[in-house]
Structure 1
Amino acid sequence: MNPILITGATSGIGEQLAKDYAQSGQTVYVCGRNSAKLHELVALGKHVKPLQFDLTDLDSCKEALQNLDPIPQTWVFNAGDCEYIDDGIVDAALIKRVFTINVIGLANAIEGAQHHFSSGHQLVIVGSIASEMALPRAEAYGASKAAVSYLSRTLAVDLAPKGIKVSTVFPGFVKTPLTDKNDFPMPMMIEVDEAAKAIKEGIESGKTNIYFPKRFTWILRILGSLPYSLQHRLAKKLIKEKQ
């Protein structure tokens, strides 16, 4: 079985995905900042290899990812964070925090690892279905995930001639410590084990785009294809319903 590397492996989807791969006996590099969680994952077996570093620090990423043996053939870039904007009042510091983790952190991890990439490798970049449509309070999170989606899809074009496949993941609501903080209804939410299974199956089948849960993400994709004026009216209704 090919080695795999997972960022954001100490919480949520990344943690479940790491456990699933580890339990199958696959070599898994688990990346994160939480040393206690990394220690728990290492207890799953000697084939689980911890890498503790800060994604927001490029030098830290480069140092941690410089020498890997064996070299992963599947790279899951999953780490991310979420904060919301209230009442359309822009908070530049908040937006910077979200972009630093979700976008710059992703770029740092890819730059730190890219000297290992070669033909036959697969990059799996976790975005969000929120990038498909402008939603209330998502000025920071949605915009960051739109940037992640664009970066991922562009890499798919540029790395294809090198034989490197790039897959983008578009999750809906998944029950994780991150979504536990949300104070609004989250329709069609799924458990983290379902999300990890969907990603694992998508990786194994070589999907370019991995959407789940299917019904919810199809609805958002359809809504996202509507004219912006109509999307705007629908989003305003969501605000009124909350009020």
Structure 2
Amino acid sequence: MTSKTVLITGGTSGIGLSLAQKYIENGDKVIVCGRNQSKLSDLSEKAFKTCLFDLNNPDEIKTQFNDINSIDIAIFNAGDCRYIDDAKQFDGELFSQIISTNLSSLGWLLQFTLPKMTNGGQVVFISSSATLLPFPRSEAYGASKAGMDYLANSLRLDLLKENIDVTLVHPGFVKTPLTDKNDFQMPFLITSENAASRIINGVNKRKKYLHFPKRLTLILKLFSYLPFSIWQLLIIRKSNP
């Protein structure tokens, strides 16, 4: 099989780093994007290219992508997760920052990557199974990922004529530096290496939608079909022991 050019945002930690390492091991040309200069330097010898930028700075993104000629797979994985701890004293600044980082930045990434996508290329959005049901304190994070879901599903329709596939990914709890900060139980937690393997396998099969681990996501999907009052009672009890 010929090697592919794979661009990965958030490629210096967690799922993104595991994806980068696995694609490099597969012999693909990996463009690793992130804002950690030290980790990008560590990857520079093996990666095809490293790109240092802040997701919220479109000029930096444009500059870093200028000399990229073609992309076979673009994986949009970078993001942030912070919580609204007091809903009545709503933190508008935090909300704005999360929406900007997790959702608005995708517009710039798409603007600078889609023209470079090859015929038969793929765009992969790493969203979250948190969009399957509402969770306490997740107003900012959940809204940003729900927006990503709609973006991915809508974009898939418009890119069909360009022969570019779109894959939407709903991971469950994955052990990463972000989830290490969580102060609540994370059932069915998997490693970032496990998550990366599942994503690569699904991308290779050109799947439109991936969700894992199914022992978590299927439970969430089941609750989403039940009356909301059942989920509300369960999750509020769980959140307030």
TM-score surpassing 0.5? yes
- What displacement does 1:170 show? 0.4
In structure 2, the CA distance between the partners of 1:228 and 1:119, relative to structure 1 (3 Å rule), is farther
2:11 maps to a residue whose letter is A
Aligned residues: 238
| 2:201 equivalent to 1:179 | no
Identical columns (%): 41
Q: Distance in 1 between matches of 2:132 and 2:125?
A: 16
1:195 maps to a residue whose letter is A
Name the residue aligned to 2:202: 202
1:10 maps to a residue whose letter is T
- What displacement does 1:98 show? 0.7
Q: Secondary structure at the match of 2:119?
A: coil
Is the contact between residue 9 and residue 33 of structure 2 (CA under 8 Å) also seen in structure 1?
Answer: yes
User: What's the C-alpha RMSD, in Å, of the aligned pairs?
Assistant: 1.4
Name the residue aligned to 1:74: 73
1:41 maps to a residue whose letter is L
Q: Which runs of 5+ in 1 are unaligned?
A: none
Q: Secondary structure at the match of 1:215?
A: helix
TM-score, length of structure 2 as denominator length: 0.94
Name the residue aligned to 2:12: 10
1:230 maps to a residue whose letter is I
Q: Which runs of 5+ in 2 are unaligned?
A: none
Q: Distance in 2 between matches of 1:51 and 1:80?
A: 16
Structure 1 window deviating more from structure 2 (175-184 vs 102-111): it is 102-111
Name the residue aligned to 1:54: 54
Name the residue aligned to 2:22: 20
- What displacement does 1:118 show? 4.1
Name the residue aligned to 2:214: 214
Q: Distance in 2 between matches of 1:228 and 1:112?
A: 40
- The CA deviation string for residues 85-123 of structure 1, in whole angstroms up to 9 with x for no partner, is 114231101101111110012222111212113430100
Is the contact between residue 14 and residue 79 of structure 1 (CA under 8 Å) also seen in structure 2?
Answer: yes
Alignment of 1:1-243 (within 5 A): 1-43=3-45, 45=46, 47-69=47-69, 71-89=70-88, 90-241=90-241
Q: Distance in 1 between matches of 2:179 and 2:169?
A: 17
Moved over 4 A (4+): none
Is the contact between residue 71 and residue 113 of structure 2 (CA under 8 Å) also seen in structure 1?
Answer: no
2:187 maps to a residue whose letter is P
Q: Secondary structure at the match of 1:19?
A: helix
Q: Distance in 2 between matches of 1:18 and 1:67?
A: 20
Q: Distance in 1 between matches of 2:226 and 2:147?
A: 20
Structure 1 window deviating more from structure 2 (156-165 vs 94-103): it is 156-165
2:13 maps to a residue whose letter is S
Structure 1 window deviating more from structure 2 (219-228 vs 51-60): it is 219-228
Q: Distance in 2 between matches of 1:85 and 1:188?
A: 24
Q: Secondary structure at the match of 1:120?
A: strand
Q: Distance in 1 between matches of 2:229 and 2:163?
A: 40
Q: Distance in 1 between matches of 2:64 and 2:221?
A: 37
1:66 maps to a residue whose letter is N
Higher strand fraction (1 or 2)? 2
Is the contact between residue 71 and residue 118 of structure 2 (CA under 8 Å) also seen in structure 1?
Answer: no
1:78 maps to a residue whose letter is N
1:27 maps to a residue whose letter is K
